[in-house]
């Protein structure tokens, strides 16, 4: 298998990303996904393997290390003496789920490429009903039509004792291409999501959104090309926005009051925008036609983690039967369940944005919690708009099954 | 591929940047944590189950530091091996850590800095921190600002990071804080004064020049000094040059800022965001533990980025429970908010834990109560124990039904109980085994000698209290006599402010707390009823009395205590001052006799002032009196006398302003006090006029002086001195009246009718007035 210097080099880049994730220097799910992909690409390009299982093992171990770096993403079990409940392994706290998702996605692609390469001679099974295509006219994936013929030409020799590298040599270019596909998908995710924006937003509608989400921002801006509508932005005090500025790897730019930034950006794009405090969400809800939210992670049951305040908005919307639409890239699909933490994602930031540290008297006497995310149950949501088409919460499980392989659910 | 190449470029850019170096002083240079620190250095004490040094490394890593020098002194080998085994020395940590062992003779941070200089460790700007820092401040941004400043001002040698906190904040040390005088515009630190809890610092002096030179200054006592300093390469060499600098703040910063010769600037960075604090005493140990558990240090929190690499689950209410499934919590146990429980720890039934940290592999017996305590790894606490506000070391065994009072420190490996009772603020350590002495004694001679002494003084009565199986020695609660003379923050009484178990916030409230706490313990003693504990309660009563006194009545007993000290100090000061005065007189005499230029005389005076370290006002006093005495009294007064005065003042008057600061009000006051007792009292008015004419004193200054209550002789004992003062004041009043009359005259002259000369309003007029002044005043009839 891989020789020591390579392992060492791998370890270094993996550890580097792991510690940056732990130090929250990489923030934002898309940013984390991109960084993960960069690491995986290096790992794959360096890896030496003579069959596909070895490769999968290498990638999984890297994935495990990265997910462990954020202790919350990891399944855990905790022994309560005489505990009477079954501790499930799919507990999720959150930090960047997109890291694990990206690893799963890459694994899925690798297996797919491997299958097309080995069974290339047999006619590729006609793609069965895919939910992505069933619900919308979402694009079929490119590579399924294109490369099959060339790949089939080179016979793959697994576990060749004479030339152990031959397998890797033949497969690697295809694999790199597969990773590049994931990469491209991430690059274009905003465009693909906002492609159908005009079908969701109609003229003279009033849209309510919460805080700052890049996805929602580009979605609304895309709709503004075709429609004339009004946006109400709740300022989501004091939650952070992860602006993904990049300065020498030290990315830790939190801006408070993401809603303010969002409102500024939208109004500069010519959309008529109102900025309101969170407390007035319910009062305004009767006038709102649609609530559009961003997600941090979409869970297997169709629920989601979203910036704190999302639950408030979704519940208010339910009271007025206002539709709640979630815009999110497919990399946010997470094959995990939220079992225990009914309302919170259990990722808490520091209290300083809620209570200033200089308030010496209060600091000692008050316990301040500053959760990053709300858990919003699937019952409160109406539709997910992803770059793989639009789906109701109830069919997310199916989308997950198509996106990832079952054996990767736990890395 | 595009993204890859861009990543490569980024790496290249990163290489071009200078490597950010940090120096950690991993020694405390004091004994506040003893006896916990007898066997291991303070920087390896765990806080929230990770060694302090790891928190510091992580804090620096968070800030993008790439190279760290760790200066270790006590238990240096231990520090070195710990670093070697830690994850920091594994590949991929991204940080290079080099332990540097300094000599045993390094007794202060100043010595360590000199060592850094002689070894030539640092090559550029570096971050200087202590080995007990917990921070998430973006130090790299401070470094950036520092470098930016260096481009325009080469003398900006240091930037101190301070964190805003309220005046009553748990993390702000009450016994050891400081006053910063900061220019609000440039954030230059203009002056630094250390503040102590005992003897209570009540006055912070700020040089007048600062207020004169800077239009806007902030004087702040609400800052937590994080001891994060961005230093330029010059800093170690400055320490080398000034061999008497010991402490970085009290000596170096204070020295640089008050020096007239160094001309270096120090800046402050008031961190608005982020958290930074130092575990410098047991009290801050507690408050920083609390801060970590309540996530102020995010992302440096146990469930996210625990420096020791443990994984914790964060539950509602800031409870952190180790996540590897090895923790056993009994169903009836109650874990309160803000708790941390380490891996493999067992908590039995009916245990109550609140706001505490429990280490790895601990066992807490059933029915025990643990409140606000910090229990290190591998400690066993028996059933029915109560541990409050204490730190319990590693591998300690507290047998059943024992009670550990507030503020106790229990050293590693101690066994006490069963049914032991530890009084408040008791310190215990394990009796040394005679077997392994040989090795240790070479290494830790000083430590051992003290320990031996304590061991020799053990009383049997205490032994009885600590239970039959006890292997502990009790450290004396009062500092031994020879330590009494320790000055500054290490003073025993000041230490009381710094220890665990006091309520947070200001000294006064904390001592109220103390008093009530003692009442409660009295009650317990009556329960015990035994003779030995009675004795003890007496002593602790005295203890509480003294405590109560110096809070509730800060004026009576506290001041009487300080007075004793200050008379001694004053006596020694008086000697130094009279020496100084004599020297100044001599030097001035020489100057007068040999006709030195004013500048030369001024330089000589400055050096004298440095040498004998006296305040500026003393110099001024001496100079003014010498000048006044220089004036010869001409019989019959009149014009010849006036000429004589004018001659002296014109020749030597400018010297008054050249000694290092201009303060005309003080000059007049000094002149007054001098004249009041001198035979030259009748000349006061004329001298004052002469000074006025020589532009050394201006009318505004005279008015201000006149308005001072002390000028009227207030607070003086009745007697000739007071009479003299009064006379001078009267003379001044008359003079001023004449001046303002003139002014109104001239105003009327120039503008016809005007309200009486309000000098503050029209500076233009005033200046004109001054120019015209001399001629007019000469015509004045002088009283007396």
**Domain with A157 in it:** 4-188
- Across chain A, mean pLDDT equals 77
The predicted pLDDT at position B598 comes to: 78
The predicted pLDDT at position A202 comes to: 92
Question: Is the minimum CB–CB distance between A365 and chain B shorter than 8 Å?
Answer: no
Interchain CB distance below 8 Å, B294 and A71: no
Question: Is the minimum CB–CB distance between A7 and chain B shorter than 8 Å?
Answer: no
Phi-psi region of A397 (alpha: psi -120 to 50; beta: other; left: phi over 0): alpha
Buried b / exposed e across A137-148, counting CB within 10 Å, b at 16+? ebeebebeeebe
The predicted pLDDT at position A83 comes to: 30
Contacts of B224 in chain A (CB under 8 A): none
The predicted pLDDT at position A323 comes to: 95
State the complex-level ipTM.
Answer: 0.80
Statement: residue A74 has pLDDT above 60: no
- Which residues make beta-bridge pairs with B179? B193
Interchain CB distance below 8 Å, B62 and A23: yes
Chain B closest-CA separation from residue A97 CA (Å): 14
The predicted pLDDT at position A218 comes to: 93
Chain A closest-CA separation from residue B689 CA (Å): 53
The predicted pLDDT at position A71 comes to: 54
| pLDDT tens-digit series, residues A23-39 | 877 777 888 889 899 99
Interchain CB distance below 8 Å, B273 and A15: no
| Residues 179 through 218 of chain A touching chain B, CB cutoff 8 Å | 180, 183
Contacts of B136 in chain A (CB under 8 A): 350
**Closest-CA residue of chain A to B4:** A38
User: Which secondary-structure segment (H or E) carries A267?
Assistant: helix A258-268
* Dist CA B29 CA A38 (whole Å): 47
Tell me: do A96 and A183 sit in the same domain.
yes
The predicted pLDDT at position B462 comes to: 63
The partner residue sitting opposite B296, judged by closest CB among A76, A357, A360, is A357
Alpha carbon distances (Å) from A361 to A19, A357, B167, B521: 35, 10, 9, 27
Position with higher pLDDT, B513 vs B458: B458
- Across chain B, mean pLDDT equals 74
Statement: residue B116 has pLDDT above 60: yes
B83-91: average pLDDT: 80
Helices (H) and strands (E) in chain A, counts: 16, 12
Chain B closest-CA separation from residue A358 CA (Å): 4
Pick from A188, A217, A250: which residue ends a domain? A188
* Dist CA B782 CA B739 (whole Å): 12
Tell me: do A241 and A116 sit in the same domain.
no
Which range, A314-328, B109-123, B464-478, B642-656, has the best average confidence (pLDDT)? A314-328
Are B256 and B239 contacting, i.e. CB atoms less than 8 angstroms apart? no
Q: Which residues contact A411 (CB under 8 A, 6 or more apart)?
A: A60, A63, A64, A67, A100, A103, A104
**Closest-CA residue of chain A to B325:** A78
Contacts of A16 in chain B (CB under 8 A): 92, 94
The predicted pLDDT at position A205 comes to: 94
B223-239: average pLDDT: 87
Interchain CB distance below 8 Å, A71 and B303: yes
Alpha carbon distances (Å) from B680 to A369, B661, B721: 73, 26, 13
* Mutate: best of A5, A76, A348, A369, partner B, most B CBs <10 A: A348
pLDDT category at B510 given cuts 50, 70, 90 is: very low
Position with higher pLDDT, B778 vs B122: B122
Q: Which residues contact B14 (CB under 8 A, 6 or more apart)?
A: A248, A249
Interchain CB distance below 8 Å, A70 and B304: yes
Statement: residue B745 has pLDDT above 50: yes
* Dist CA B193 CA B249 (whole Å): 9
pLDDT category at A236 given cuts 50, 70, 90 is: confident
Interchain CB distance below 8 Å, A364 and B13: no
Tell me: do A209 and A355 sit in the same domain.
yes
Tell me: do A82 and A198 sit in the same domain.
no
User: Taking each helix axis from N to C terminus, what angle separates B109-119 and B234-241, rounded to the nearest 10 degrees?
Assistant: 110
Question: Is the minimum CB–CB distance between A349 and chain B shorter than 8 Å?
Answer: yes
The partner residue sitting opposite A71, judged by closest CB among B61, B295, B304, is B304
* Dist CA B127 CA A136 (whole Å): 57
Contacts of B316 in chain A (CB under 8 A): 344, 346
Are A165 and A191 contacting, i.e. CB atoms less than 8 angstroms apart? no
B209-234: average pLDDT: 86
Are B494 and B198 contacting, i.e. CB atoms less than 8 angstroms apart? yes
Burial class (CB in 10 A: 0-12, 13-18, 19+), A247: exposed
Interchain CB distance below 8 Å, B138 and A252: yes
The predicted pLDDT at position A269 comes to: 92
* Dist CA A165 CA B545 (whole Å): 83
Pick from A188, A220, A251: which residue ends a domain? A188
**Closest-CA residue of chain A to B331:** A81
Contacts of B303 in chain A (CB under 8 A): 71-72, 93
Tell me: do A302 and A380 sit in the same domain.
yes
Q: Which residues contact B241 (CB under 8 A, 6 or more apart)?
A: none
Burial class (CB in 10 A: 0-12, 13-18, 19+), B454: middle
Pick from A154, A188, A222: which residue ends a domain? A188
The predicted pLDDT at position A127 comes to: 52
Kindly report which listed range (A84-98, B114-128, B504-518, B762-776) carries the lowest average pLDDT score: B504-518
Contacts of B172 in chain A (CB under 8 A): 360
Tell me: do A127 and A208 sit in the same domain.
no
pLDDT category at B486 given cuts 50, 70, 90 is: very low
Tokens coding B666: 């003080």
Tell me: do A49 and A173 sit in the same domain.
yes
Interchain CB distance below 8 Å, B303 and A72: yes
Interchain CB distance below 8 Å, A348 and B298: yes
Phi-psi region of A360 (alpha: psi -120 to 50; beta: other; left: phi over 0): alpha
pLDDT category at A163 given cuts 50, 70, 90 is: low
Which range, A374-383, B546-555, B686-695, has the best average confidence (pLDDT)? A374-383
Collapsing DSSP to helix, strand or coil, A380 comes out as helix
Position with higher pLDDT, B522 vs A155: A155
* Mutate: best of B7, B19, B166, partner A, most A CBs <10 A: B166
Statement: residue A81 has pLDDT above 60: no
Cis peptide upstream of residue B418 (ω within 30 degrees of 0): yes
The predicted pLDDT at position A272 comes to: 94
Q: What percent of chain A has pLDDT over 90?
A: 24
Contacts of A78 in chain B (CB under 8 A): 313, 321, 323, 325, 327
| pLDDT tens-digit series, residues B580-595 | 777 877 888 887 777 7
Position with higher pLDDT, B340 vs B685: B340
**Closest-CA residue of chain A to B288:** A364
* Mutate: best of A74, A358, A368, A370, partner B, most B CBs <10 A: A358
Give me the DSSP letters along A207-262.
Answer: EEEES--HHHHHHHHHHHTT---EEEEE--TT-EEEE---STT---EEEE-HHHHH
Tell me: do A173 and A255 sit in the same domain.
no
Tell me: do A49 and A18 sit in the same domain.
yes
Statement: residue A334 has pLDDT above 50: yes
Cα B568-B574-B577 angle, rounded to 5 deg: 145
The partner residue sitting opposite B323, judged by closest CB among A78, A349, A370, is A78
The predicted pLDDT at position B784 comes to: 39
Tell me: do A183 and A250 sit in the same domain.
no
Interchain CB distance below 8 Å, A358 and B338: no
Question: Is the minimum CB–CB distance between A31 and chain B shorter than 8 Å?
Answer: no
| pLDDT tens-digit series, residues B536-580 | 333 333 333 333 333 333 333 333 333 333 344 445 556 667 777
| Residues 38 through 97 of chain A touching chain B, CB cutoff 8 Å | 38, 41, 68, 70-72, 74, 76-82, 93, 95
pLDDT category at B756 given cuts 50, 70, 90 is: very low
pLDDT category at B660 given cuts 50, 70, 90 is: low
Kindly report which listed range (A124-128, A355-359, B320-324) carries the lowest average pLDDT score: A124-128
Statement: residue B281 has pLDDT above 80: yes
Statement: residue A311 has pLDDT above 80: yes
**Closest-CA residue of chain B to A83:** B331
The partner residue sitting opposite A76, judged by closest CB among B140, B169, B323, is B323
Contacts of B91 in chain A (CB under 8 A): 8, 11-12, 15
Statement: residue A53 has pLDDT above 50: yes
The predicted pLDDT at position A380 comes to: 94
Question: Is the minimum CB–CB distance between A357 and chain B shorter than 8 Å?
Answer: yes
The partner residue sitting opposite B296, judged by closest CB among A24, A344, A351, is A351
CATH number for the domain spanning A218: value is 3.40.50.10470
A190-206: average pLDDT: 90
A401: nearest Cα among A120, A129, A28, A95: A129
Domain total in chain A:
2
The partner residue sitting opposite B14, judged by closest CB among A248, A351, A370, is A248
Contacts of A81 in chain B (CB under 8 A): 328-331
The predicted pLDDT at position B347 comes to: 93
Interchain CB distance below 8 Å, A14 and B326: no
B51-74: average pLDDT: 87
Collapsing DSSP to helix, strand or coil, A357 comes out as coil
Tell me: do A157 and A205 sit in the same domain.
no
**Closest-CA residue of chain B to A349:** B298
**Closest-CA residue of chain A to B9:** A248
Tell me: do A82 and A221 sit in the same domain.
no
Kindly report which listed range (A371-380, B111-120, B245-254, B467-476) carries the lowest average pLDDT score: B467-476
* Mutate: best of B293, B295, B331, B350, partner A, most A CBs <10 A: B295
Statement: residue A204 has pLDDT above 50: yes
| pLDDT tens-digit series, residues A15-24 | 888 888 888 7
* Dist CA A199 CA A196 (whole Å): 6
Contacts of A25 in chain B (CB under 8 A): 62
Statement: residue B443 has pLDDT above 50: no
């Amino acid at each position: 298998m891989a020789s020591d210097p390579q392992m060492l080099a791998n370890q270094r880049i993996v550890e580097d990303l792991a510690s940056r994730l732990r130090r929250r220097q990489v923030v934002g799910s898309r940013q984390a996904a991109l960084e993960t992909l960069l690491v995986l690409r290096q790992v794959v390009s360096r890896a030496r393997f003579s069959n596909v299982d070895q490769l999968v093992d290498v990638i999984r171990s890297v994935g495990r290390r990265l997910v462990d770096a954020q202790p919350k993403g990891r399944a855990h079990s905790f022994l309560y003496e005489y505990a009477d409940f079954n501790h499930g392994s799919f507990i999720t706290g959150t930090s960047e789920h997109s890291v694990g998702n990206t690893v799963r996605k890459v694994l899925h692609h690798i297996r797919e490429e491997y299958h097309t390469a080995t069974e290339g001679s047999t006619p590729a099974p006609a793609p069965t009903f895919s939910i992505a295509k069933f619900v919308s006219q979402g694009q079929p994936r490119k590579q399924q039509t294109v490369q099959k013929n060339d790949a089939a030409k080179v016979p793959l020799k697994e576990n060749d004792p004479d030339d152990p590298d031959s397998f890797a040599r033949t497969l690697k270019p295809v694999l790199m291409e597969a990773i590049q596909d994931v990469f491209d998908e991430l690059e274009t995710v905003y465009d693909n999501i906002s492609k159908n924006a005009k079908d969701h937003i109609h003229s003279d509608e009033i849209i309510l959104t919460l805080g700052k989400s890049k996805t929602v921002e580009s979605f609304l801006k895309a709709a503004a090309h075709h429609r004339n509508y009004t946006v109400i932005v709740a300022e989501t005090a004091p939650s952070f926005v992860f602006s993904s500025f990049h300065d020498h790897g030290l990315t830790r730019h939190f801006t408070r009051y993401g809603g303010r930034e969002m409102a500024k950006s939208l109004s500069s794009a010519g959309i008529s925008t109102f900025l309101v405090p969170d407390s007035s969400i319910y009062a305004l809800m009767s006038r709102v036609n649609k609530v559009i939210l961003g997600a941090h992670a979409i869970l297997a049951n169709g629920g989601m983690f979203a910036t704190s305040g999302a639950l408030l908005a979704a519940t208010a919307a339910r009271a007025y039967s206002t539709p709640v639409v979630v815009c999110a890239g497919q990399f946010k699909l997470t094959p995990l369940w939220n079992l225990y933490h009914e309302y919170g994602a259990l990722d808490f930031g520091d209290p300083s944005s809620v209570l200033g540290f200089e308030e010496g008297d209060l600091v000692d006497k008050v316990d301040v919690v500053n959760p990053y995310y709300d858990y919003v149950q699937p019952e409160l949501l109406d539709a997910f708009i992803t770059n793989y088409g639009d789906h109701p919460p109830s069919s997310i499980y199916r989308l997950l099954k198509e996106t990832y392989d079952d054996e990767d659910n736990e890395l | 591929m595009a993204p890859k190449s861009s990543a490569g470029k980024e790496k290249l850019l990163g290489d071009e940047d200078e490597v950010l170096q940090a120096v950690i002083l991993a020694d405390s240079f004091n004994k506040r944590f003893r006896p916990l620190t007898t066997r291991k250095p303070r920087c390896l004490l765990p806080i929230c189950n990770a060694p302090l040094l790891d928190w510091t490394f992580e804090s620096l890593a968070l800030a993008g530091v790439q190279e760290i020098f760790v200066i270790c002194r006590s238990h240096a080998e231990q520090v070195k091996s710990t670093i070697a085994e830690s994850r920091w020395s594994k590949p991929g940590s991204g940080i290079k850590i080099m332990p540097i062992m300094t000599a045993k003779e390094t007794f202060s941070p100043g010595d360590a800095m000199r060592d850094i200089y002689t070894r030539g460790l640092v090559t550029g700007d570096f971050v200087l921190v202590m080995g007990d820092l917990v921070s998430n401040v973006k130090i790299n941004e401070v470094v950036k600002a520092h470098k930016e400043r260096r481009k325009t001002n080469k003398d900006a040698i240091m930037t101190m990071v301070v964190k805003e906190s309220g005046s009553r904040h748990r993390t702000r040390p009450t016994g050891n804080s400081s006053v910063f005088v900061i220019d609000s515009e440039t954030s230059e630190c203009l002056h630094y004064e250390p503040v102590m809890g005992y003897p209570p610092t009540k006055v912070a002096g700020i040089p007048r020049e600062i207020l004169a030179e800077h239009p806007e200054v902030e004087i702040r006592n609400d800052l937590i000094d994080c001891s994060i300093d961005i230093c330029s390469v010059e800093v170690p060499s400055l320490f080398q040059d000034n061999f008497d600098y010991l402490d970085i703040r009290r000596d170096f910063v204070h020295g640089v800022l008050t020096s007239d010769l160094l001309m270096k600037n120090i800046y402050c960075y008031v961190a608005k965001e982020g958290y930074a604090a130092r575990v410098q005493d047991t009290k801050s140990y507690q408050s920083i533990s609390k801060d970590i558990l309540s996530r102020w240090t995010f992302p440096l929190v146990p469930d996210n980025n625990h420096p020791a690499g443990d994984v914790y689950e964060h539950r509602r209410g800031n409870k952190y429970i180790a996540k590897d499934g090895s923790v056993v919590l009994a169903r009836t146990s109650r874990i309160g908010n803000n708790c941390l429980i380490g891996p493999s720890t067992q908590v039995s039934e009916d245990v109550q834990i609140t706001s505490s940290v429990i280490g790895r592999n601990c066992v807490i017996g059933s029915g025990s109560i643990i409140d606000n305590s910090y229990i290190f790894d591998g400690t066993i606490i028996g059933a029915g124990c109560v541990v409050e506000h204490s730190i319990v070391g590693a591998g300690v065994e507290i047998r059943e039904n024992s009670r550990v009072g507030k503020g106790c420190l229990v050293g590693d490996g101690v066994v006490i109980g069963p049914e032991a009772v530890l009084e408040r603020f008791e310190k215990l350590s394990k009796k040394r085994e005679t077997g392994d002495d040989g090795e240790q004694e070479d290494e830790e001679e000083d430590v051992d000698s003290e320990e031996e002494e304590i061991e020799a003084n053990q009383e049997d009565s205490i032994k009885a209290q600590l239970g039959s199986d006890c292997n502990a020695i009790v450290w004396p609660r009062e500092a031994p006599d020879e330590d009494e003379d320790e000055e500054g923050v290490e003073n025993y009484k000041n230490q009381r402010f710094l220890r665990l178990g006091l309520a947070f916030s200001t000294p006064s409230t904390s001592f109220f707390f103390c008093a009530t706490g003692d009442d409660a313990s009295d009650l317990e003693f009556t329960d015990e009823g035994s003779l030995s504990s009675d004795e003890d309660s007496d002593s602790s009563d005295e203890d509480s009395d003294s405590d109560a006194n110096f809070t509730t009545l800060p004026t009576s007993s506290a001041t009487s205590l300080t007075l004793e000290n200050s008379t001694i100090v004053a006596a020694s000061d008086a000697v130094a001052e009279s020496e100084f005065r004599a020297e100044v007189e001599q030097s001035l005499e020489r100057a007068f006799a040999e006709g030195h230029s004013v500048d030369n005389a001024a330089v000589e005076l400055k050096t004298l002032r440095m040498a004998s370290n006296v305040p500026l006002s003393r110099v001024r006093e001496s100079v003014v009196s010498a000048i006044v005495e220089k004036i010869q009294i001409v019989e019959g007064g009149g014009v010849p006398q006036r000429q004589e005065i004018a001659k002296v003042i014109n020749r030597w008057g400018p010297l008054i302003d050249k000694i290092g600061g201009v303060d005309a009000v003080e000059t007049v006051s000094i002149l007054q006090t001098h004249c009041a007792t001198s035979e030259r009292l009748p000349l006061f008015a004329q001298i004052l006029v002469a000074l006025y004419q020589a532009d050394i004193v201006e009318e505004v200054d005279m008015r201000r002086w006149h308005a001072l209550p002390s000028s009227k002789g207030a607070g003086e004992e009745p007697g000739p001195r007071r009479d003299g003062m009064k006379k001078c004041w009267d003379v001044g009043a008359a003079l001023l009246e004449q001046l303002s009359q003139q002014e109104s005259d001239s105003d009327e002259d120039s503008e016809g009718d005007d309200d009486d000369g309000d000098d503050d309003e029209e500076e233009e007029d005033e200046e004109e007035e001054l120019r015209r002044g001399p001629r007019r005043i000469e015509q004045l009839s002088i009283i007396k």
